[in-house]
Amino acid sequence: MIFKICGLTTLADALAAVDAGASMLGFNFYPPSPRFIAPDLCAQITSVLKEKHPEVIRVGVFVNSSLPEVTRILDACTLDLAQCSGDEPPALLYKLGPRAFKALRPTSEKDLQNLLGIFPVRSTPPAYLVDAYRPGEYGGTGQSADWGLAARLARKYPILLAGGLNPGNIARAVTQVRPWGVDVASGVEEKPGLKSPAKMNDFIQNAREAEEEYSS
């Protein structure tokens, strides 16, 4: 299973996330978010990560950014992927191609099918990220995604499950959804933007134990 620690704002937290077992790290470029990071600071962090942990996938989280802005930040911060978490038009995803994947926030089976018909699926994992729907908000709410819808999608595509995950519920989420990977931000924090190494370790350990249980 892939573990993505998102909303990182410091090098210490990024390195602690890798030590805990994360293989994807997320950096949030949405200014209203309490986990926002300036591109210049992100570039300093990713330059160290690229040297020390080149195997780790570095992800930029964008909300309703333009194509020039996304590509500029991807290049300046040496990021591998763009996670489009807003109300982006499908054309943006098509233009970014394999450099991007869409965060879906379905509210029903019909809504999910409509979203799948609009947004392209990545040819390599993750195909999509599934997050919780909350009007006017774009992730990081602490609210759980619809695990039933996510499980149906996970049977067809390699997805990242996000939304309200924490060390206490991750085992149940993994057992029910069986996703390709999981994504956490607020659930492993001391306060918004600052991670807890202990919580990151517990989160990943609990997820791994649940995966081993259903795989055995």
Q: What is the CATH number of the domain that holds 186?
A: 3.20.20.70
- Whole-number Å distance between alpha carbons of 92 and 105: 18
13 counts as catalytic: no
**In the structure encoding, which two tokens stand for residue 108, read together?**
């029903």
**Chain segment 195-208, per-residue pLDDT in tens:** 999 999 999 999 99
Q: Is residue 146 a contact partner of residue 106, using CB atoms and an 8 Å limit?
A: yes
**In the structure encoding, which two tokens stand for residue 184, read together?**
């956490």
Of residues 13, 84, 131, 183, which has the active-site annotation?
Answer: 131
**Chain segment 140-171, per-residue pLDDT in tens:** 566 789 999 999 999 999 999 999 999 999 99
Q: What is the pTM assigned to this prediction?
A: 0.95
- Whole-number Å distance between alpha carbons of 76 and 128: 24
* CA 77 to the chain's CA centroid: 17
Task: Give the chain's domain count.
Answer: 1
Q: Is residue 151 a contact partner of residue 145, using CB atoms and an 8 Å limit?
A: no
Share of the chain above pLDDT 90, in %: 92
**Chain segment 24-60, per-residue pLDDT in tens:** 999 999 999 999 999 999 999 999 999 999 999 999 9
Residues facing residue 100 across a β-bridge: 82
- Whole-number Å distance between alpha carbons of 135 and 141: 11
**152 backbone dihedrals φ, ψ, rounded to 5°:** -65, -40
> Domain residues for 129?
2-215
Residue 215, pLDDT above cutoff 90: no
Residue 116, pLDDT above cutoff 70: yes
- Whole-number Å distance between alpha carbons of 82 and 26: 9
The confidence band for 137, taking pLDDT boundaries of 50, 70 and 90, is low
Of residues 6, 42, 77, 84, which has the active-site annotation?
Answer: 6
Residues facing residue 59 across a β-bridge: 26, 81
In the predicted model, what is the mean pLDDT of the chain?
Answer: 95
183 counts as catalytic: no
